[in-house]
């Protein structure tokens, strides 16, 4: 069941593989962060990269969320979901000239610049359009987020941001440049962070810079402390939004201006399950057992991309003692594995399983590799379910080809 609604019923109508989301879980995720920052002035800019299905964005917007977009595509989707340009932050390495022109002409809430060169290009674009672009600079504080290396972004070996020690000069040198309004400072040191220490250190570094910039005469309007709050995949120990807020608020209060948060995973991560069908059972002479699913790395890339773990539960109630299974996908890559030696009851062809905690960085990373079709997505709300994205068809895929 998902929030009291039968998953079998959804599968009977829509088939598998299928992403199932709980609206209530998304609301809970959003409100737990909102509540954690309490009375301190804060703006939550949900990071679309975690999951940008329109219905999910609309739900978050209704709760008061704003948006953090990482590309022209995400800006477009955010606007279609109803976010006003001023509610959208544009972040990300490698913004193209076209993207900058669009961001400036839309008068987005803020553009988080990743380099001095990018700041200069934003200024050029703004001057050419006779506008003033609201900008912040993303700093790289050289702090280890202690997450997986592929989703850590705050070390000096990472491509993100400008070195902290150069940031003040970068701001000062452009203070009088026409076309730029320095409205904030930004940091984001990675994703799936499970302890307060790196987050707190990053915020402290950001606030020190903000205080220096205040001395230099900058009238900053906010401190953007990024996203990154981790969630428990299985038994993993994590920090709560309250622990996060408690660890950073004393630093933020020293500056006293509003804080901008860019959470993605912590809002939607727990809200989704990927429902798949067992299509084959294989057993090797050494007793290794494979359950081959009709979903694989094409639908959920995280395990293949960075060895992440997702709990898997059978939807069909199994009888018998749990036995070890290698739960794998159908794709022609040996990395297409969800879990090895996972204890599950005996499985049979046509049984359904749910891969849990896939609401973030799940469907957004899906691909057509092996010419597989993107799965359908359903949202459960208030005892009802509805399709929020239909399953892709071969015609959808081939429509791009000439
Ligand atoms: C700049 C930026 N902000 C916010 C996020 C969202 O991070 P998370 O989903 O870990 O909260 C990311 C993703 O890593 C990001 O790159």
Q: What is the pLDDT of residues 108-151, one digit of tens each?
A: 999 999 999 999 999 999 999 999 999 999 999 998 888 888 88
Helix and strand numbers, DSSP H then E, in the chain = 12, 18
The CATH architecture to which 91-263 belongs is Alpha-Beta Barrel (3.20)
Give the distance (Å) from ligand 1 centre to CA of residue 301: 17
CB-CB contact of 122 with 181 (8 Å): no
Provide residues with CB under 6 Å of ligand 1: 47, 49-50, 68, 91, 188, 191, 226-229, 262-266, 360
Alpha-carbon span 186 to 385, nearest angstrom? 38
> Among this protein's residues, is 332 annotated catalytic?
yes
Closest residue CA from atom 13 of ligand 1: 191
Question: Which residue reads 């359950």 in tokens?
Answer: 291
Which atom of ligand 1 is the closest one to the Cα of 264?
A: 9
Q: What is the pLDDT of residues 5-22, one digit of tens each?
A: 999 999 999 999 999 999
The segment(s) of the chain belonging to CATH 3.20.20.10 are: 91-263
CATH among 3.40.50.280, 3.40.50.970, 3.90.1170.50, 2.40.37.10 for 270-393: 2.40.37.10
Among residues 237, 332, 400, 402, which one is catalytic?
Answer: 332
To test the ligand 1 pocket, which listed residue (52, 226, 229, 231) has its Cβ within 8 A of the most ligand atoms?
Answer: 226
Q: What is the pLDDT of residues 190-247, one digit of tens each?
A: 999 999 999 999 999 999 999 999 999 999 999 999 999 999 999 889 999 999 999 9
The segment(s) of the chain belonging to CATH 2.40.37.10 are: 270-393
Give the distance (Å) from ligand 1 centre to CA of residue 208: 22
Alpha-carbon span 113 to 46, nearest angstrom? 18
The DSSP output letter for 373 is P
Q: What value does the mean pLDDT of the chain take?
A: 96
Please spell the DSSP secondary structure of 171-224, one letter per residue: HHHTTT-TTEEEEEEEE--BSSB--HHHHHHHHHHHHHHHHHHHHTT----EEE
Q: What is the dihedral of CA 188, 144, 93, 248, to 10 degrees?
A: 10
Give the distance (Å) from ligand 1 centre to CA of residue 225: 10
pLDDT at 307 over 80: yes
Q: What is the structure's pLDDT at 26?
A: 98
Which atom of ligand 1 is the closest one to the Cα of 191?
A: 10
Alpha-carbon span 36 to 229, nearest angstrom? 13
The DSSP output letter for 81 is T
Give the distance (Å) from ligand 1 centre to CA of residue 250: 22
CB-CB contact of 268 with 29 (8 Å): yes
């Amino acid at each position: 069941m998902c929030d009291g609604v039968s998953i079998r019923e959804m599968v009977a109508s829509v088939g598998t593989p299928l992403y199932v989301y709980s609206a209530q879980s998304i609301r809970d995720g959003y409100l737990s962060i909102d509540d954690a920052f309490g009375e301190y002035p804060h703006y939550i800019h949900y990071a679309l990269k975690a999951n940008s299905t329109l219905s999910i964005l609309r739900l978050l917007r209704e709760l008061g969320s704003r948006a953090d977009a990482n590309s022209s595509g995400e800006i477009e989707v955010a606007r279609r979901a109803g976010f006003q340009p001023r509610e959208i932050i544009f972040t990300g390495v490698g913004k193209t000239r076209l993207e900058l022109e669009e961001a400036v002409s839309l008068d987005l809430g803020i553009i988080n610049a990743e380099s001095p060169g990018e700041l200069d290009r934003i200024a050029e674009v703004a001057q050419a359009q006779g506008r003033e672009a609201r900008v912040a600079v993303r700093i790289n504080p050289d702090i280890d987020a202690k997450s997986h290396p592929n989703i850590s972004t705050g070390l000096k070996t990472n491509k993100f941001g400008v070195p902290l020690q150069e940031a003040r000069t970068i701001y000062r040198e452009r203070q009088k440049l026409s076309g730029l309004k320095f409205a904030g400072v930004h940091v984001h040191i990675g994703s799936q962070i499970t302890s307060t220490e790196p987050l707190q250190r990053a915020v402290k570094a950001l606030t020190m810079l903000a205080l220096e910039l205040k001395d230099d005469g900058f009238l900053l309007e906010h401190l953007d402390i990024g996203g990154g709050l981790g969630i428990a995949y299985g038994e993993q120990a994590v920090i709560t939004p309250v622990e996060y807020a408690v660890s950073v608020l004393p630093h933020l209060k020293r500056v006293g201006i509003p804080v901008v948060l860019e959470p993605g995973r912590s809002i939607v991560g727990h809200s989704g399950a990927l429902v798949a069908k067992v299509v084959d059972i294989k057993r090797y002479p050494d007793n290794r057992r494979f359950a081959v699913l009709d979903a694989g790395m094409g639908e959920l890339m995280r395990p293949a991309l960075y060895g992440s773990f997702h709990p898997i539960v059978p939807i069909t109630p199994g009888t018998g003692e749990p036995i070890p299974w290698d739960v794998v996908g159908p794709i022609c890559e040996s990395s297409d594995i969800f879990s090895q030696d996972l204890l599950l009851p005996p499985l049979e062809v046509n049984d359904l399983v749910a891969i849990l905690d896939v609401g973030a960085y799940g469907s957004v990373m899906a691909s057509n590799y092996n010419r597989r079709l993107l799965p359908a997505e359903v949202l459960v709300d208030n005892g009802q379910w509805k399709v929020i994205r239909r399953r892709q068809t071969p015609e959808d895929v081939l429509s791009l080809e000439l």
